Amino acid sequence: MNSHKRMPEPLKIIWNRRWLILITTTAVMAATLWWANGLPKIYEASVVLGYTKDTAGPSQERLLANARENVNNRQTLEALIQIDAFKEQRTAGIGVDRLAENISQNTTITTEPRANGFAIRLRYRDRTPERAQSIAGALGQVIERSGFKVEQPSTLATEPIMPRRLRMTGMGIGAGILLGLVLAGIAEAASRLRNGKMESTTRPATTS
């Protein structure tokens, strides 16, 4: 009891309202997990293509720009949309413009250094691992026509990259603790205000 009295005031409030903080944290964490479980799973497939340096050839920047232009080329995208991987979307009536935009938005291209040149890593994200692998491979073939050589073909993803449930759980715990501390402070202030009013009403009046 004495050690509790010697606690700093903020720690006293946390100790007195520990169950409120715990319940709030648990509730926010559970809500975060429930929300995360409702999010669609996103899978990613990648293909790596290497390029050997050629003093007479184009620069790395030009090659990278060409690769991105080829991948985002309208004819390339329209040809991809016609493959079986997009049959479900076509049947559902999703337009070519929207599908082409989705492919561009879900495709990223980055460079990786090599001793005798450089490599391109193309990543494609999708809600199904099969379509992610298929599209990544098809886009890799488009880049391959520019003089690149496939070093690592696209493989079937076994685990989704999103939603990141572990990270979201940590964020939920942090948000729950913060909200719990705020509620604890409000509850403590309200309790003291109420007790102060009760004392003022029960204190006997002094006579002069």
Residue appearing with tokens 């939920």: 172
- Architecture of the domain spanning 43-152: 2-Layer Sandwich (3.30)
Per-residue model confidence (pLDDT) at position 90: 82
User: Under DSSP, is residue 156 helix (H, G, I), strand (E, B) or coil?
Assistant: coil
User: Would you say 9 and 136 are in contact if contact means Cβ atoms under 8 Å apart?
Assistant: no
Q: Please answer whether residues 14 and 181 qualify as being in contact, where contact means their C-beta atoms are separated by less than 8 angstroms.
A: yes
Residues 107-129 pLDDT 10s: 998 888 877 778 889 999 998 89
Average pLDDT for residues 1-24, to the nearest whole number? 80
The pLDDT confidence band at residue 155, using thresholds 50, 70 and 90, is confident
Residue 2 has pLDDT above 90, yes or no: no
Dist CA 101 CA 79 (whole Å): 14
pLDDT band at 200 (very low <50, low <70, confident <90, very high): low
DSSP 203: S
Pick the residue with more confidence: 54 or 173?
A: 173
Q: Is the pLDDT of residue 74 over 70?
A: yes
Query: Following DSSP, what letter does each residue of 67-93 receive, concatenated?
Result: HHHHHT-HHHHHHHHTSGGGHHHHHTT
Reported pTM = 0.68
